[in-house]
Structure 1
Amino acid sequence: MSTSDDLHARRLRAVRAWTHFVADGDKEADTVRPEILSSWQLSGVVSPDVTHAPLDDEGDTAEFWNQSPLQTAVTRVQDELRRTAEDGDLVIAVTDEQTRILWTYGGRVMRRKAETVNFVPGGRWDEASVGTNALAIAGRTGAPSMVFSAEHYAEVVHNWVCWAAPVFDPVTGRPLGVIDLSTTWDRTHPIGLATARVMARLIEGALPADRRTSPLGATAPADPGLTLTLLGTAEVWLDGQRLLLNRRQTEILALLAMHPGGLSVEHLHSLLYGDSSVTTSTLKAEVSHLRAALAGQLSSRPYKLTLPVTTDVEEVQRLLRRGDVRAAVRAYGGDLLPGTESPALVQMGDYLAVSVREALLVQPDPDAVLRYSDLAPYDTAVVEACLASLSVHHPVAPLLKGKLAAGRG
């Protein structure tokens, strides 16, 4: 265990490096670890004088938590988590993939400290919100992280030390969020990071076996049928089980899902390949592989899916038609099958992106715009429209101004 003198010397070095970087503009700061320097550089949109994390809507956070498989897992192991927090006078937090805190438990002293800086459910602890911290680094890099004292960008948490480890879905490998252990800097212990890793594995092992995660932590339907995730990433689920398909097969499924009445081989070939010189025999071979993967639930003449199908593309469109822009942006994971060369899918992707953008310009919900700006960081017009609709003192305004500065930069 580090001696008191060692910790004080380490803290002094961290304070000096932070002062050189923040006050003196020394953007090299080679006296800190590379991951800290990289995070400091990302934190420039945040004032180092920020006093607390911004809070997301309480109802939205609770709804997300209640629907997340993390909630089931944490409930199953909460006795172990609470015992760890109480024995070490720690505050433990579990976040979603965007580093929004969903659940916390703290020892008596740290619980009070945590509440003063919004280290509570709904608190946003990404680097764009509060600067460098272990939760943000672990969530961004997918690797365990420790941030000690003045390695934090925000001066208000210079008295903290934090250890964080990412939590992954063991089935899909998808990141679900982060678990973080925090206490005061003078209680730094060498096993802190190892403990965070153990807690992350504990949660992963307690995830419900009969549920599968999809983007944003929601659960894939257990009902019979085909579920396609096409926005930002590509996943195909059949009756709750993930199918491992190649890119072209996923594109074919996407096109068939968008044409429930069926497609002739010639029409499907045109939508998929455009003017490319690909033979219909190649297409037929891909369809044959798909038919086998779907247990025969793909008919011929025309090609048509013969089972229930749901897609995130359809869900975003449904929410936009209903006028629920916030939910639509939450369901919108990004570009439709990024990198696709299918003319029809490129056209649909552009249509959907424009639809989401136009809906935000008409109804610039602050939380939705924050989410959207992560997906489209250079679309400053949407951020400007949102800022114009907010009061100067709205809690989200500083974050949006930071996003605007970063987008213009």
Structure 2
Amino acid sequence: MEHSLGSLRDRRLDAVRAWTAFVTEGDDAVRVRPEVLSSWRRSAQGAALDATGAPLADEHDTAAFWQDSPLQSAVSTVEQELRRSAEDGDLVLAVTDTKTRILWTYGGRVMRRKAESVNFVPGGRWDDASVGTNALDLAGRLDAPATVFSAEHYSPMVHNWVCWAAPVHDPVTGERLGVIDLSTTWDRAHPIGLATARLMARMIESALPDTRQHPRHGIAGSDQGLALTLLGAAEARLDGQRLLLNRRQTEILALLGLHPDGLSLERLHALLYGDAAVSASTLKAEVSHLRSTLGGAISSRPYRLMLPVTIDVDEVLERIRQGQVLAAVAAYGGDLMPGTDSPALSELAEVVAVAVREALLADPDPDAVLGYSEIAPYDAEVLETCLRRIGGDTHRAVPLLRGRLAAAKR
């Protein structure tokens, strides 16, 4: 045990030294795991080093979201086992939503007090923009189990903690619903911690109700409703079946899908045609055709889609907002409706393209950059930024990145 505690002390000292060099000296080449360093960089943009507790979301909104949700149902089913684990290991457990807002906690006697002192409680916002690097945020951001030990946390208020977290997914849809986190003091760190977090996540997943039947949080299956692909090759699918539409009809669906509250005839005309001399009757005819194609699911005054809609643009922008660069690139099929003359869609196309590129320049994940280079093969700056960030020749992606860069400069 002494040897184990000594090893933990050495590990903690290394973490403190790296953190100090990063925070006080601006050393961007400190020896910490890449995901921790990326999070430190994000945290340095907003998370206050002198924070004494996480910001709290509205108590009533948090309680309303948790009440009768699939996660609440599952946690209630396995709660006795979760509580027993917390008490036996003097842990504090937390379940969050997809925004890293804590929905439920339970703690052993000592850790419960420590948790309350830093707002590690329902409503606490533990995204790294709010409190800096932590396992809850990393597990959600990476969609994979994560550990953050001692001063790997960006905020000193939790430098005495070790946290293990694992994402919780809906077994039916595969969607991430949140994470479960286990936390204790750094000197009680144990290799089994991460495996325990994974086990608890699987336990919760096995107890989840079938969300296809859930009245409030159900998620339409991939073949239900209207699915709009606007990035790359544009298409529209209704209940899984591709719709045979001309370009202008697809643009109208895109604009209605991007404005779920609806658009007046005049506003839709302006977004679609700009100053072009196209009559309102032409637009009405296009909408009438679409209404027939969708089985009447377009209302009038205003024009509004009356069925579930998913749009690939929303997925890309949401992933970027969450800092999930690799996932954003995976969902990015290319430019939004290339060649469109709709002023609104042209503007959105530029927003998405710039957002993806700037996200890669800020966080040039090698796999994400490789994926992006297949879509934008001549963007040498992104490739160069990634190679500089990697440094050296040891990363598996370096040869391919160099090859893509040489091709981009030809």
Q: Give the TM bin, normalised by the shorter chain.
A: 0.5 to 0.7
Counterpart of 2:406 in structure 1 is: none
> Could you say what secondary structure the match of 1:161 adopts?
strand
> Could you say what secondary structure the match of 2:103 adopts?
strand
Any conservation in 2 of the 1:226–1:310 contact (CA below 8 Å)? Answer: no
**Cα distance between partner residues in 1 of 2:77 and 2:107:** 18
> Could you say what secondary structure the match of 1:23 adopts?
helix
Counterpart of 1:8 in structure 2 is: 9
> Could you say what secondary structure the match of 1:156 adopts?
helix
**Cα distance between partner residues in 2 of 1:23 and 1:221:** 49
Distance 1:111 1:228, change over 3 A: farther
> Could you say what secondary structure the match of 2:129 adopts?
helix
1:143-292 aligned at under 5 Å gives the runs 143-211=144-212, 218-220=217-219, 227-228=225-226, 244=240, 255=253
Corresponding letter in the other structure for 1:151: E
Counterpart of 2:308 in structure 1 is: 311
**What are the Cα deviations for residues 264-299 of structure 1, in whole angstroms up to 9, with x where unaligned?**
xxxxxxx9xxxxxxxxxxxxxxxxxxxxxxxxxxxx
**What are the Cα deviations for residues 150-199 of structure 1, in whole angstroms up to 9, with x where unaligned?**
11000010110000011112222221111100001111111000000111
Any conservation in 1 of the 2:228–2:237 contact (CA below 8 Å)? Answer: no
Counterpart of 1:100 in structure 2 is: 101
* Structure 1 residue 220 displacement after superposition: 3.7
**What are the Cα deviations for residues 45-101 of structure 1, in whole angstroms up to 9, with x where unaligned?**
212221111001011111111253211111111111111111111111011111111
Corresponding letter in the other structure for 1:219: G
Any conservation in 2 of the 1:257–1:305 contact (CA below 8 Å)? Answer: no
Any conservation in 1 of the 2:228–2:254 contact (CA below 8 Å)? Answer: no
Question: For structure 1, which segment, 197-206 or 126-135, has the greater mean C-alpha deviation from structure 2 after superposition?
Answer: 197-206
**Cα distance between partner residues in 2 of 1:114 and 1:301:** 54
How many residue pairs are counted as aligned between the two chains? 292
Any conservation in 2 of the 1:255–1:345 contact (CA below 8 Å)? Answer: no
> Could you say what secondary structure the match of 2:13 adopts?
helix
Any conservation in 2 of the 1:256–1:305 contact (CA below 8 Å)? Answer: no
Counterpart of 1:318 in structure 2 is: none
**Cα distance between partner residues in 1 of 2:173 and 2:65:** 20
Any conservation in 1 of the 2:168–2:201 contact (CA below 8 Å)? Answer: yes
Distance 1:101 1:349, change over 3 A: farther
**Cα distance between partner residues in 2 of 1:132 and 1:120:** 17
**What are the Cα deviations for residues 312-357 of structure 1, in whole angstroms up to 9, with x where unaligned?**
69xxxxxxxxxxxxxxxxxxxx99x995529699848979xx9xxx
> Do residues 23 (structure 1) and 28 (structure 2) align?
no
Any conservation in 2 of the 1:228–1:254 contact (CA below 8 Å)? Answer: no
How much is the aligned-residue C-alpha RMSD, in angstroms?
Answer: 4.6
Any conservation in 2 of the 1:89–1:106 contact (CA below 8 Å)? Answer: yes
> Could you say what secondary structure the match of 2:218 adopts?
coil
Counterpart of 1:387 in structure 2 is: none
Pick 1 or 2: higher relative contact order, CA cutoff 8 A, min separation 6. 1
Any conservation in 2 of the 1:94–1:177 contact (CA below 8 Å)? Answer: yes
Distance 1:218 1:232, change over 3 A: farther
**Cα distance between partner residues in 2 of 1:154 and 1:210:** 36
* Structure 1 residue 310 displacement after superposition: 2.4
> Could you say what secondary structure the match of 2:55 adopts?
coil
**Cα distance between partner residues in 1 of 2:156 and 2:243:** 47
**What are the Cα deviations for residues 6-64 of structure 1, in whole angstroms up to 9, with x where unaligned?**
1111111111111111112212112x222211111111021222111100101111111
**Cα distance between partner residues in 2 of 1:347 and 1:176:** 33
**Cα distance between partner residues in 2 of 1:192 and 1:91:** 12
Gaps of 5+ in 2: 258-271, 273-288, 298-305, 311-327, 360-410
**Cα distance between partner residues in 2 of 1:220 and 1:124:** 24
**Cα distance between partner residues in 1 of 2:67 and 2:346:** 31
TM-score (norm 2): 0.59
Counterpart of 2:76 in structure 1 is: 75
Distance 1:339 1:78, change over 3 A: farther
TM-score (norm 1): 0.60
> Could you say what secondary structure the match of 1:167 adopts?
strand
